[in-house]
A and B are shown apart, each in its own frame.
Chain A
């Protein structure tokens, strides 16, 4: 019997509502952390850039202010702020599952990932300032591809360091990468379609929320998948065993409800 099968057998005692609770907690805290992180990062960006920002650039997430080289440094600071908020919020849920040291590891991975993600989004946004697209199908598809690739790279940037935290603890850490890419890619495609239809990003104030909701839901499911495929190093094996000591009720050996055919003692 494989260790995962053994675990699966043992976790039958863990009630479903417990997993649902983990999922709801994860989704709620992740969405809240994205929104609060954006709010704080916007504040930090405005404070650091002051009047040097010359406008708002097209971005698939957040409020990207057009600034010179200093803008890149500010993007890194904003990414760190946003990463700390997200890492702490998700770490609260994970504290029970991967203990204190794992949660600390998670916080560090999230700060690194979110900072790189912000930097990528900022870099692409800056390059796209003043870009011209022909309003024809091939170039519209090219725009959607550019935005989707930005989203995929951004999602990968956050998902990869986080997946490393799960790697020695679970078999399915790969799903974490995919789950983190879904939100930014879908948001990027929504932004692209809005640009095509409205000629401007009318979703600009809601992209963080949209990315947050999709990412939270997708990573919530990915988290459950990971919890169901632990490796021996996974700390949550203890946390998710429920009423293991309770003896199983004995089922009488009968044939169609009659015990006449039962085995002789």
Chain B
């Protein structure tokens, strides 16, 4: 009887140690993933945004070609700011190429409205709005209320100043606060940028 009690206690101590190692691993995971905080976050300030936009604006680039990638599609556009025209050079949706008019016909109507948000200036406008949203303080939520917070992350090109990569995640926590789910609401990357003389 005594032996079984000692074996039981020893085994329980070993299981507790294994559980402690498991908890340490969980803490490691928590260190890698940003923990839930009751506010929006942004890796850039309004000043940093303004500085990047000023750098881009001061280039006075008249025309450029840009390749934009998001999780579903890849778009190559030519933007002619001098004539205020936009050309769709290629468009791939989920790996399948769509037919495009290229440089023959500039975009107009619905197509123009669809692809206009992918120009650098439009992306800057969106980021400006995102920064305002992210840096606004909604205050501490009441108990039992579902909260949604934005995490904005923007990287600018150090030379020209255009936004190389923009991600926006949404953290949703229900009133019970048992778990926070994070979903990516935006992931736009500028893969290639060429100035057209």
Residues of chain A in range 153-179 having any CB-CB distance to chain B below 8 Å:
153, 156-157, 160-162, 164-165, 167-168
Q: When the two chains form their complex, are residues A167 and B7 in contact, meaning their CB atoms are under 8 A apart?
A: yes
User: Separation in Å of the B14 CB from the closest CB of chain A?
Assistant: 9
Indicate whether B36 reaches chain A with its CB closer than 8 angstroms: yes
Indicate whether B44 reaches chain A with its CB closer than 8 angstroms: no
Binds A, one of B109-117, B157-165, B172-180: B172-180
Indicate whether B54 reaches chain A with its CB closer than 8 angstroms: no
Indicate whether A51 reaches chain B with its CB closer than 8 angstroms: no
Indicate whether A138 reaches chain B with its CB closer than 8 angstroms: no
Residues of chain A in range 31-53 having any CB-CB distance to chain B below 8 Å:
none
Docked Cα-Cα span, A194 to B36, in Å, equals 20
Q: When the two chains form their complex, are residues A120 and B16 in contact, meaning their CB atoms are under 8 A apart?
A: yes
Please encode chain A, from 211 to 249, with 1 for each CB lying within 8 Å of some chain B CB and 0 for all others: 000000000000000000000000000000000000000
Which range holds the interface residue count of chain B? 35 or more
Chain B neighbourhood of A116, CB < 8 A: 12, 15-16
Chain B neighbourhood of A109, CB < 8 A: 4-5, 8
Please encode chain A, from 94 to 127, with 1 for each CB lying within 8 Å of some chain B CB and 0 for all others: 0000000100010011001100100110011001
Binds B, one of A1-9, A17-25, A55-63: A55-63
Indicate whether B138 reaches chain A with its CB closer than 8 angstroms: no
Known A127-B23, A132-B35; judge A157-B4 contact (CB<8 A): no
Q: When the two chains form their complex, are residues A157 and B12 in contact, meaning their CB atoms are under 8 A apart?
A: yes
Total CB contacts across the A-B interface at under 8 A: 124
Please encode chain B, from 20 to 55, with 1 for each CB lying within 8 Å of some chain A CB and 0 for all others: 101100110110011110000000000000000000
User: Separation in Å of the B24 CB from the closest CB of chain A?
Assistant: 9
Indicate whether B196 reaches chain A with its CB closer than 8 angstroms: no
Indicate whether A67 reaches chain B with its CB closer than 8 angstroms: no
Docked Cα-Cα span, A146 to B1, in Å, equals 35
Indicate whether A12 reaches chain B with its CB closer than 8 angstroms: no
Indicate whether B93 reaches chain A with its CB closer than 8 angstroms: no
Indicate whether B62 reaches chain A with its CB closer than 8 angstroms: no
Q: Can you list 13 pairs linking A and B with CB atoms under 8 Å apart?
A: A108-B5, A119-B19, A124-B22, A127-B23, A130-B30, A131-B36, A132-B171, A133-B180, A164-B8, A168-B4, A199-B179, A199-B181, A204-B176
Given A57-B178, A105-B4, A119-B16, output 18 extra A-B contacts at Cβ < 8 Å.
Answer: A105-B1, A108-B8, A120-B15, A120-B19, A123-B20, A124-B23, A128-B26, A128-B179, A130-B35, A131-B35, A153-B15, A157-B12, A160-B12, A164-B5, A165-B4, A167-B7, A200-B178, A201-B179
Interface residues of A (CB under 8 A from B): 55-58, 101, 105, 108-109, 112-113, 116, 119-120, 123-124, 127-128, 130-135, 142-143, 146, 149-150, 153, 156-157, 160-162, 164-165, 167-168, 195, 199-201, 204
